[in-house]
A and B are shown apart, each in its own frame.
Chain A
Amino acid sequence: MLLEVRDLHVEFHTRDGVAKAVDGVGYGVDAGETLAVLGESGSGKSVTAQAVMGILDTPPGRITGGEVLFQGRDLLKLKEEERRRVRGAEMAMIFQDALSSLNPVLSVGDQLAEMFTVHRGMSRRDARAKAVELMDRVRIPAARERVGQYPHQFSGGMRQRIMIAMALALEPALIIADEPTTALDVTVQAQVMELLSELQREYDMGLILITHDLGVVADVADRIAVMYAGRIVESAPVHDIYKAPAHPYTRGLLDSVPRLDLKGRELYAIKGLPPNLTHVPPGCAFHPRCPLARDVCRTDEPPLYEVSPTRGSACHFWRECLNG
């Protein structure tokens, strides 16, 4: 395994009490594999990624347990200086909004070149040439002329390509993309996603794709981990999930996607709201919103049941769910 997260716990200390943003999350990704992490806002998917990258703001956040094994090393045990060397060079991250993720006072060429001067000790001239090469690689037209321009002179899609180029600069083994297409137009979304998965294949990288867009997931992901209230509720190969979800929350998510073949019918919505993380319901956190909930769900927290060797579901009644 390239990256394996084991039983990760992250807490935030807030005025209302301790919020368990990540509560025992585990997932893994191999080289060349794409893992999609699905979930609503506040389900802990971004916080998990930040903990893996080591860019969680502490305080208010605090990692209270677990392991992040990257190429066999536990990153959580490394010193900050060693971690910093891993970031960018061996694992990199792409953020949601590329305009705000690029420094407005530096030209895009400077920002790309910085990757090489900082991590590789290249000369400015060589780094600049590399920057142009990277911009070509992510198919920015007229890269040579545009390398000196500033982020606000590029369109949203082009900016996201530049972010991708920065993340890919040092050919990291793992890329975490936190909703990389959410801020883009639908047509541009597809182009950017296609570029990302193409480059991933080319470099044989592991990719963790954090998203709430089920359409994107179906096209590019190999595995899916569904998160709810800081936990993984279902983890499975992508085809299994689309064929038959083994958790009522996953089923709810899939049913709430508009479908052409069900035109004219009322769109399904999961009733209720995600729980407040300072006061997560006892038992299964999803039970107040779950159509299958029984008494046991209100008292006993479901473990991640093994549905098949490659599949897990944190639902007491996963069999029922699987059979519809």
Chain B
Amino acid sequence: MPEQHYEPEPAVAGAAIGGTVDVGVEEAETLEKRPKGRGGPGPRDRPRSLWSDAWRDLRRNPVFIISGLVILFLVLISLWPSAIASGSPLKCDLARAQEGSRPGHPFGFDGQGCDVYTRTVHGARTSVTVGVLATLGVAVLGSVLGALAGFFGGVWDSVLSRVTDVFFAIPVVLGGLVLLSVITSNTVWPVIGFIVLLGWPQIFRIARGSVITVKQNDYVQAARALGASPSRLMLRHIAPNAVAPVIVVATIALGTYIALEATLSYLGVGLKPPSVSWGIDISAASPYVRNAPHALLWPSGALAITVLAFIMLGDAVRDALDPKLR
């Protein structure tokens, strides 16, 4: 561990050697946590919350920096794809079908003669939109229901927990084929809705368990003994302490939702042409993989890197929020 979170006892010795501390009998116990590693008797510690500690940890983690940069880049190109790929992803020239790399067309052309580079860049928007919105929906729905079930317990907890069991029993791909094949709308919304519908039980379980754990802590009991209302207990004392695992799982899930969107689009039940999506491109390129492997490689590579970046980010966030796991 490069930096301790909960400064251990030796800090006392360090402070005493520093020499600025008045070692009174009365306040001998104030000889305590000092920032170490900054050398000698610094000023009194600055306030350090869990979040600022976590952020300090994250900034030093190369995994976080790399995945963060990749994700930042993805977000930027999904907001302004034309900035690096000015052509239209829908402008195709059959005469150039399956051609390899050419000047101005670094990734070559796919089976329909569309520019693979432009399509790959523009495909990021779909993936990021689906990933972010589906994760938000899942996180909000799952954590609100999970927190209520965990906090109040009783009948509602049992009912909701059984409902999540039902959703867990639905196979994702099969469920997608059945539910999405009846929908004709060619937007990202049905896909997002489907992911939220199948995804919330996962966050529900995490949030419920986390709230139950936190609820048993002494400080919740203490806050209750000092007159805090149930809503205040939940919002001020339980939720901030219970949210870390939800954030971690949601970040990792974001990557898998992007993969799921590509899977559904590949199978033809997610987005359909003329929408632009990596899943559609992978699907379209797979019949020609012997003749034009580049048309498959680039969108698949982009998808793999994106999913990996989010999963790595989730890992880094977990390490920062729960140093004990390392």
Contact = CB atoms under 8 A, between A and B. Distances in A.
B224 A55 contact: yes
Interface in A49-71: 53, 55
B84 to A, nearest CB: 41
Interface stretch (A15-23, A150-158, A203-211, A234-242): A150-158
A182 interface: no
A253 interface: no
Contacts of A156: 29
Contact of B221 (A55, A85, A163, A188): A55
B208 to A, nearest CB: 18
Contacts of B236: 103, 106, 114
Contacts of B222: 93, 95, 101-102, 163, 166
Interface stretch (B68-76, B163-171, B179-187, B227-235): B227-235
Interface stretch (B47-55, B133-141, B195-203, B301-309): B47-55
Interface string A105-139: 11100000011001100000000000000000001
B97 to A, nearest CB: 58
A40 interface: no
Nearest to A85: B227
Nearest to A80: B230
B3 interface: no
A101 B47 contact: no
A105 B26 contact: no
Interface residues of A, number: 46
A191 interface: yes
A55 B30 CA distance: 33
Contacts of A95: 218, 221-222, 225
A86 B281 CA distance: 66
A101 B227 contact: no
B29 A105 contact: no
Interface in A143-188: 145-146, 148-150, 152-158, 163, 166-167, 185, 187-188
Q: Which of B28, B217, B225, B241 has the most chain A CB atoms inside 10 A of its CB?
A: B225
A104 interface: yes
B47 A148 contact: yes
Contact of B47 (A89, A149, A157): A149
Interface of A: 53, 55, 84-89, 92-93, 95, 97, 100-107, 114-115, 118-119, 139, 141-142, 145-146, 148-150, 152-158, 163, 166-167, 185, 187-188, 191
Interface of B: 5-6, 26-33, 44-45, 47-51, 217-219, 221-229, 232, 236-237, 240-241
Given A87-B227, A105-B241, 18 more contacts: A84-B227, A84-B229, A85-B227, A86-B227, A87-B224, A87-B225, A87-B226, A92-B225, A95-B218, A95-B225, A101-B218, A105-B49, A114-B228, A114-B236, A141-B30, A149-B47, A167-B226, A188-B29
26 contacts: A53-B225, A55-B221, A84-B227, A92-B226, A93-B225, A95-B225, A103-B240, A104-B219, A106-B236, A106-B237, A107-B47, A115-B226, A118-B228, A142-B44, A145-B44, A148-B47, A149-B48, A150-B47, A150-B50, A152-B5, A152-B33, A153-B47, A153-B48, A155-B33, A166-B222, A185-B29
